[in-house]
Amino acid sequence: MGSASINEYRHEKASPDLIERLHSRVSIRLSGQGINGFRELLRRRLRENRNLAISLSLCMGCGACLTVCPAYLATHNIKNSPLGRIALARSLVRGSINENSINEAYTYFWQCLTCRRCAWACPFGVDVADISRTIRSLLYEIGLAPNYVAGVINNLESMGNFLGLPEDVIKEVILSVVDQIKHEKGVNVKVKVNEPAYAMLLPSACADYTVAVNTLKGYILLLNELGIDFTLSTRVPDITNYGLFMDERHMRLIAERIVEESRRLGVKLVIAGECGHGWRVFKNYVVPRLKEYGIEGTHILYIAADAIRRGLIKLDALVNGDLTYMYMDPCHYARGGDLVKEPRFILSNTVMRYAELNDKPN
Ligand code: SF4
Ligand code: SF4
C-alpha cells in the first residue's frame, strides 16, 4: 500500500444497530444533536479532565515528536502526527464543526496507534494517545466508531472473548492443547477448566487459542513445571480489552468480567498472558480492583523470569540456533505497562547471543 492510500484510509464505520447495542450497555443516549453536540461533549470532557486541557494548551509546535511518531513516519502527512492531531483537537474546541471536520477527526484520531512515543519525546510530556482516546470516545458517543473495534468490543461483552467463540469451542481448544503437549513433549500436564484453583490464567483469545497456540502450550508447561495449581475459564478466557482503544466505559465493563470471574472461582492470583494493550489495562485497572478482594495479579513473564533466576527451569539456548536476537519494546508493554526488564532477561537467557538495538557490533 503506497503512502497516499494510507493517508486516505478511513476505518469502515459500525452500523447504527451495533452502536446502539453498545451504547445501551454503558447507558449512553444519543442526544439527537449528532455532530452539533460534539463540541459541548468535548468541552465538558476538558473541564472534567484538566490533564487533557493542559496538554492541549502546552504544545508549542516544536516538532520534536515528529521523528518518533510511527504514523507520521509511515505517511509523511502532518495531519497524521502528534502535532497535527493537537491542531485538529484545538480546532474542534474553537473552530467550526461540520461533517468535514468530524470526518477528518475520525480519520486521523483513528490512525493514531496510541503508542505514546510522542509523550516520551515531547519536552512537556504531552501524551497525544490520551487526546486520541478522548476524541474517539466522543466520536463514539455521537455514533461513529470503526466496525472492527466495535465488533470486537461486542464479542468481548456478549461472549467473553475477542472472536465471539462459544464456551464449548474454547474448552475443546484447551483439551486439544493438553493432548498436543502429551504427543509432542511426552508430558502429562494438569489443566483445570472452570474449576476453583489457586490461580487463574488469562490468555488472549485472538492469538493464544487460535493462531499462536504454542504460546498457550508454553504457559501450561511452565505452570505445570513450577507446580502452580491453575485454572482456565471458558467464560472469561480473554485478556484482550478493546475498550482501551475506544471508550473507557467499555474498558471498565470488559475488565470487570475478569474481577467477577476471579472471585467466582475463588482464586488468589490472576496471571496475565501475552497481549500488550490487555496487559496495560490489566496492570493499571484490573490489578487494583483485584486487590480490593485480596487477589493478586501478575504477568506470566514475571513468573518465567523468577523461575530462571531461581534455577527452577532449565533452558537450552542451543535450540534457538547460532543467531543474534534483539528485543523490540512493544508500545503497551513498555510505555503503558512498565514491562521492560523481564522480557530482555528471559530472551537473553534463552538464546546464544543477545544484543540491544544500539549495541556496537563486536
Ligand atoms: S501515540 Fe504514537 S501514533 Fe499517536 S500521535 Fe503519539 S507517537 Fe503518533
Ligand atoms: S514535541 Fe510536544 S510540544 Fe513539541 S510539537 Fe510535539 S507535542 Fe507539541
Q: Which range has highest mean pLDDT (1-5, 39-43, 86-90, 202-206)?
A: 86-90
| Model pTM score | 0.92
Tell me if 113 CB under 6 Å of ligand 1.
yes
The average pLDDT across 350-359 equals 92
Strands (E), the chain: 192-193, 199-202, 230-232, 269-272, 296-299, 324-326, 353-355
Average pLDDT over the chain, rounded to an integer: 93
pLDDT tens string 219-240: 999 999 999 999 999 999 999 9
Nearest ligand 2 atom to the CA of 61 is 5
Is the pLDDT assigned to residue 8 strictly greater than 90?
no
355 strand-pairing partners: 326
Is residue 16 within 8 A of residue 145, CB to CB? The reply is no
pLDDT tens string 270-305: 999 999 999 999 999 999 999 999 999 999 999 999
The average pLDDT across 241-251 equals 97
Q: Which long-range contacts (CB under 8 A, 24 or more apart) does 64-72 make?
A: 64/121, 64/122, 64/123, 65/117, 65/118, 65/121, 65/122, 65/126, 65/128, 67/121, 68/117, 68/118, 68/120, 68/121, 69/117, 69/118, 70/113, 70/115, 70/117, 71/111, 71/112, 71/113
In testing the pocket of ligand 1, which one of 59, 113, 116, 131 has its CB within 8 Å of the most ligand atoms?
A: 113
Pairing assessment for the beta strands 199-202 and 269-272 based on DSSP bridges:
parallel
202 strand-pairing partners: 272
Tell me if 70 CB under 6 Å of ligand 1.
yes
- pLDDT value, residue 32: 62
Nearest CA to ligand 2 atom 2: 122
Closest CA to 73 of 130, 11, 12, 115: 115
pLDDT tens string 82-96: 999 999 999 999 888
Is the pLDDT assigned to residue 101 strictly greater than 50?
yes
- Three-state DSSP at 357 gives coil
Is residue 205 within 8 A of residue 163, CB to CB? The reply is yes
Residue 106 has a CB neighbour count (10 Å cut-off) of: 19
pLDDT band at residue 31 under the 50/70/90 scheme = low
Is the pLDDT assigned to residue 2 strictly greater than 50?
no
- Cell numbers for 286: 484490573
Class of domain 3-145: mainly alpha
Is residue 93 within 8 A of residue 43, CB to CB? The reply is yes
Nearest CA to ligand 1 atom 5: 82
Tell me if 118 CB under 6 Å of ligand 1.
yes
| Every domain range in the chain assigned CATH 1.10.1060 | 3-145
Tell me if 112 CB under 6 Å of ligand 1.
yes
Segment holding 216, helix H or strand E: helix 213-225
